[in-house]
Amino acid sequence: MYFVKTPKIARAFNKKAIWNIPNNVKEVFLTFDDGPTPLITNHTLDILKKHKIKATFFCLGKQVEKHSEVFKKITDEGHAVGNHSYSHLKGWTTKNEQYLEDVRKGEAIIKSHLFRPPYGKIKRSQVNLLNPQTKIILWDVLPGDFSPSNNVEKIISNTLEAVESGSIIVLHDNAICGNKMLQALPIIIDKLKEKKYTFSAIAE
């Protein structure tokens, strides 16, 4: 089970995290997790370039090691990058020492103080052990491109129904759900532009 629109009560459990970035100018923030994945990420970058949009890519250290040229393309094209850990461990079921080692390993490769916990699941004790400079970036719109029950149309409608000014939207540039995401992304962008939304990367 997951929430397309993160409820306020859920946000209260991790007050140190950034769930959205409030503003009055209809600015939203597209983010992509789990890459870089060569074909998927490259096509994502092409779509963003076509629409002159900057986004934020929360990368896995192990993927950056394997596909450093794609990672370089992300940064060369002016997008922000964040740490999504090295190997995508779930904080709730991982001992603190192992979890922090994995996070720091990813940070050493990605070199960003932006951090998105895999699955959005992190213990309060793990939060307290992070580098004080770390910004935990979560989300308030989860379209569900990862769900086998969601088709492209559902991913689009989930986004459009939940988005508001300041929303952080999570999509995935991985091999499992990337193809659905790539079909949905241009339509999401077009529909949001029609509603006068603008797009920005998340600043460190």
Residue 179 CA to residue 193 CA, distance in Å, equals 22
Query: Is 172 among the residues known to form the active site?
Result: yes
**DSSP 8-state secondary structure symbol assigned to residue 137:** B
Strand runs (DSSP E) across the chain, as ranges? 27-33, 56-59, 80-83, 114-115, 135-136, 168-172, 198-199
Angle at 180 between CA 175 and CA 182, to 5 degrees: 85
Query: What distances in angstroms separate CA 188 from CA 47, 119, 155, one per listed residue?
Result: 11, 23, 9
What values do phi and psi take at 48, rounded to 5?
A: -65, -40
Please identify which residue in the block is written with the tokens 């850990």: 85
Q: For residue 88, how many C-alpha atoms fall within 13 Å in the half-sphere facing its CB?
A: 11
Q: Which amino acid is at 21?
A: I
Is residue 87 within 8 Å of residue 60, measured between CB atoms?
yes
Residue 165 CA to residue 78 CA, distance in Å, equals 22
> Considering 33, 102, 140, 173, which one is annotated as catalytic?
33
> Considering 102, 172, 173, 190, which one is annotated as catalytic?
172
Query: Is 173 among the residues known to form the active site?
Result: no
- Positions marked catalytic: 33, 172
